[in-house]
């Protein structure tokens, strides 16, 4: 490199070098070092900041991806494991871009003075992005009472015969609809798990779990609830629920199992 080139590089370093230090990454690293005891853990501080920035990037879409009338919402992943009473902070979260007001909404407001199917659109948009909305999510987004939304959601599903892919319906959590009976009934009619999941907008793995659990209980249907619960490692209330479904759709299994037990000369 010529002397002129070296001078040019030195000049650039002196003038613009300080800009390299004024980044969000360096500000956060400095914060960890000075405020949280990471002065002797510089590499760990850098890795933590990189992880934080990567997470922020996933939850903060570029501005040009969010159109007028849309909003960014942090929702629950539709792949999150079910679990009644699971804390919100422990769930798997994902970003969703939701259309709060669309051109169709504006047209309807101008002509009819009311909004269209905003709730249905929000729920479906969230599901298309791999997330699910709870009634609490919808209540906060739409500024409507949760109980009002619950009534409207149930009415829509009853009137249309379609289940909306809410968190309660998709993951079978909270006070939403439980789909065990729907799954078993369709399975009894000859539908396979993939068809059932598609038909009721449900998670395939959960559909398969319902069917597998039901088959396990069917084999033991003649025994008492506590025995079935112990063998299958299910809770007694869950066993009762499956037995109720089996009595309704597979009564012959209970009679058949009872006859086999009597032939062996053994009780339940």
> Burial, 176: exposed, middle or buried (Cβ in 10 Å; 0-12, 13-18, 19+)?
buried
- Quote the pLDDT of residue 6: 76
- What are the sequence ranges of the domains in the chain? 3-59, 62-164, 178-268
Upper half-sphere CA count for residue 122 (Cβ side, 13 Å): 28
- Extended strands (E) in 133-176: none
- Quote the pLDDT of residue 183: 87
The SS3 of residue 69 is coil
Query: For residue 268, is pLDDT > 60?
Result: no
Which 8-state DSSP code applies to residue 76?
A: E
- Binning pLDDT at 50, 70 and 90, where does residue 179 land? confident
Tell me how far apart the alpha carbons of residues 227 and 268 are, in angstroms, rounded to a whole number: 9
- Quote the pLDDT of residue 17: 61
Phi, psi of 35 (to 5 degrees): -110, -15
Whether this model's pTM surpasses 0.85: no
Query: For residue 5, is pLDDT > 50?
Result: yes
């Amino acid at each position: 490199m010529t002397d002129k080139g070296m001078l040019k590089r030195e000049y650039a370093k002196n003038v613009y070098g300080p800009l390299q230090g004024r980044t969000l990454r360096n500000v956060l690293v400095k914060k960890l070092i000075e405020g949280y005891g990471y002065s002797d853990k510089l590499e760990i501080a850098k890795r933590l900041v990189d992880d934080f920035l990567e997470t922020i990037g996933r939850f903060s879409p570029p501005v040009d991806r969010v159109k007028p009338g849309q909003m960014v919402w942090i929702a629950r992943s539709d792949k999150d494991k079910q679990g009644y009473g699971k804390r919100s902070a422990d769930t798997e979260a994902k970003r969703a871009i939701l259309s709060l007001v669309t051109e169709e909404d504006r047209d309807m407001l101008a002509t009819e003075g009311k909004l269209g199917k905003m709730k249905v659109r929000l729920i479906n948009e969230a599901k298309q992005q791999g997330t699910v909305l709870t009634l609490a999510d919808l209540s906060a987004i739409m500024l409507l009472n949760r109980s009002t939304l619950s009534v409207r959601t149930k009415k829509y599903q009853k009137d249309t015969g379609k289940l909306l892919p809410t968190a309660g319906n998709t993951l079978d959590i909270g006070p939403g609809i439980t789909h065990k009976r729907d799954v078993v009934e369709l399975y009894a009619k000859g539908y396979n798990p993939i068809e059932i999941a598609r038909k009721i907008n449900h998670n395939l793995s959960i559909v398969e779990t319902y069917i597998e659990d039901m088959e396990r209980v069917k084999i033991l249907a003649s025994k008492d609830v506590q025995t079935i619960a112990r063998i299958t490692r299910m809770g007694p209330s869950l066993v009762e629920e499956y037995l109720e479904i089996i009595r309704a759709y597979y009564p012959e299994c209970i009679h058949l199992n009872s006859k086999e037990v009597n032939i062996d000369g053994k009780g339940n």
